[in-house]
Amino acid sequence: MPIRVGDKWSAMVILCLEQGPRRFSELRVPLRAPTPKVLTQTLRALERDGLITRTVYAEVPARVEYELTALGHTLLELIAAGRRWAEEHMPTLLAARAAYESHNTGMG
């Protein structure tokens, strides 16, 4: 079974954890779009794959923090490389998308 690094939210969660541990609510703010259910599923998958840890503190109210593992930190350079590639090729990607949309408009 593959790991979930390439799904919609995993890389963004990993980037949000780059600077250190964060609580669930602290992840939701910069990400904005995912529902709590989707963010929970993403966090569980990353934890399952050993990319993040989940620490529950015995406090009232309960406090849970998520943090990158050493393995999770190794993905940061790969994500940065993907970002650089996208920035470098953005004009070509956008032109290809526009050509596709233009050619396929009305074909349904």
Confidence of residue 108 (pLDDT cuts 50, 70, 90): low
Q: What angle do CA 75, 76, 80 make, to 5 degrees?
A: 115
Domain ranges of the chain: 10-104
Confidence of residue 3 (pLDDT cuts 50, 70, 90): low
* Residue 72: strand pairing partners: none
Give tens-digit pLDDT for 57-78: 999 988 999 999 999 999 999 9
CA of 43: how far to CAs of 18, 26, 37, in Å? 14, 13, 10
Q: Would the pLDDT of 81 be above 60?
A: yes
CATH class given for the domain over 10-104:
mainly alpha
